[in-house]
Chain A
Amino acid sequence: MSSEQTTKSPSNLVVLGSSAANGGDGLSEASCCCGPTRIIKVIQHPLCVCQPWIAGTLEASLRTVPVAKTKLQLRDVLGGWKVRWGIGRMRYQIAPGLYAVGQPNRESPVLVSANYKLSFDCLRKQLGGLHAWILVIDTKGINVWCAAGKGTFGTDEIAGRVNANRLDEIVSHRTLIVPQLGAPGVAAHRAKELCGFRVVYGPTRAKDLPAFMAAGMKATPEMREVDFNLLERIAVIPVELMHWAKWAFLVAACLLMLSGINKGGYSWNKVSSTGLLAGLVFLGTWLAGTVLSPILLPWLPGRAFSLKGLWLGVWLLFGLLAFCPILRENWLSVIGWGLLIPTTTSFVTMGFTGSSTYTSLSGVRREMRRAVPLQLIGIVGGIAAWLAGRFI
């Protein structure tokens, strides 16, 4: 990237802000800084240019603005994987403030982003070859969509950042490009009153940004719409797996221990034979439900997620009954598993209402009112029947 070569390299211009200078943005410099540094200039955010994703700095209106790389490095990609698997997710944030990509000037567009590093990475990797300013606002390290729902990605925060960074000195125009997914938290007409900048909503996907800007900040209807395609559905699997893992293992452990109970008292032999298998069957059901339900979502019958999950469970049940004779030990065991497996997949599938991009709160509430009592009956009844089967 030619723009990255023309900017100064981090090693010969060290910029280090103190968190006191900007009122303590909640990002500790201790975690981001390396080695002894020479303080040349204090800029507005507690930023250390030895962050690997910073290409250098540029001067604008007597200020030093860090320039972000537009190519992700291996460690950015690995970091993204880590947060998807829920490892240290809450700490994946960058300092709020003004950044640049390429060599922006006074006419260059200003893009607003969240200070969740994944959101920022997702944005900058689409901006190769472009010259733009990025105003990163403080969403407490949460992505644009969720932060907008909570209100942390909001009108006041944007206007506050615009004013604090004296954006009017940096650019001559008065337009902010805000991601459309931030719209639930932002009132465009109020932003204009608060900071003098007009809000234009950009496309829902960062990859459409170059086309959007080339078209004179006009989005096509396709750019405005959110879908939930196969890749997005697969991408949410890890979060959901990590989310319910401890409960799934807990239930499996219960089945393991309970399996020792029989007419003759408690048998450790049973635990290591049927118990182990029962635990594995349950874990397998949970795993299959979590992995298959988002993938098969459009093809599972019904609209309610609990219903879609139920179907998946029924198919799974027949498969397991056919291949695992242990489930067919006796008729009570068949009833027990017949309740337990579809209920589990039904519940697991309902969990995806959170990461899906088309379910409404009123809809999920209605679905839960109907499904959760039935699921409770299913799980308790299933375990009871299976337990009763131990005495036959």
Chain B
Amino acid sequence: MVLRYLRDVVTLKLDTSRCIGCGMCVNVCPHAVFRLESRIVTIADRDACMECGACAKNCPTSALSVQAGVGCLTAIIRGALSGGEPDCDCSSGSSCC
């Protein structure tokens, strides 16, 4: 049973002209969003993206951009109350590592 979140909502963008096919984004993505095809990367499964920002941060040519953040109800509420960005206060995530 694969868990999927909302469709057509993520902010992930790929500028193919800048991609050098290094495969770093394929390595860091925890949801197998990218596929490396003939020395260039494509977004194969866009809706699986959780906007963690790992790919954009590790792309050496800045071919990727994503509005990264934590998809967390409490963080958004906390952020809204303090008038700023979502603020994550969790020090214990689901996976402990």
A residues bordering B, Cβ < 8 Å? 80, 83-84, 89-90, 92, 116, 118-119, 121-123, 141-146, 148-150, 179-181, 183-189, 201, 204-206, 219, 221, 224-228, 232-233, 235-236, 239, 243, 297-299, 303-304, 350-351, 353-368
Asked if B44 is an interface residue, CB under 8 A from chain A, the answer is no
The distance from the CB of B72 to the nearest CB of chain A, in whole angstroms, is: 3
Which residues of B lie under 8 Å from residue A239 when comparing CB positions?
90, 92
Whether A183 lies near B58 (C-beta < 8 A) is yes
How many chain B residues touch A (Cβ–Cβ < 8 Å)? 47
Whether A364 lies near B91 (C-beta < 8 A) is no
Which residues of A lie under 8 Å from residue B48 when comparing CB positions?
358
Which residues of A lie under 8 Å from residue B97 when comparing CB positions?
119, 122-123, 143-145, 179, 181, 204-206
Whether A232 lies near B76 (C-beta < 8 A) is no
Whether B58 lies near A189 (C-beta < 8 A) is yes
Whether B57 lies near A357 (C-beta < 8 A) is no
Whether B90 lies near A354 (C-beta < 8 A) is yes
Bound complex: CA of A347 vs CA of B31, how far in Å?
Answer: 26
Whether B95 lies near A232 (C-beta < 8 A) is yes
Whether A361 lies near B88 (C-beta < 8 A) is no
B residues bordering A, Cβ < 8 Å? 1-7, 9-11, 24, 27-32, 48-54, 57-58, 60, 67-76, 86, 88, 90-97
Whether B57 lies near A185 (C-beta < 8 A) is yes
Closest 3 CB pairs of A and B: A354-B72, A361-B69, A359-B71
Q: When the two chains form the complex, which single residue of A83, A146, A188, A350 contacts B88, counting CB atoms closer than 8 Å?
A: A146
**Given A354-B73, A357-B95, A362-B10, CB of A188 within 8 Å of CB of B67:** no
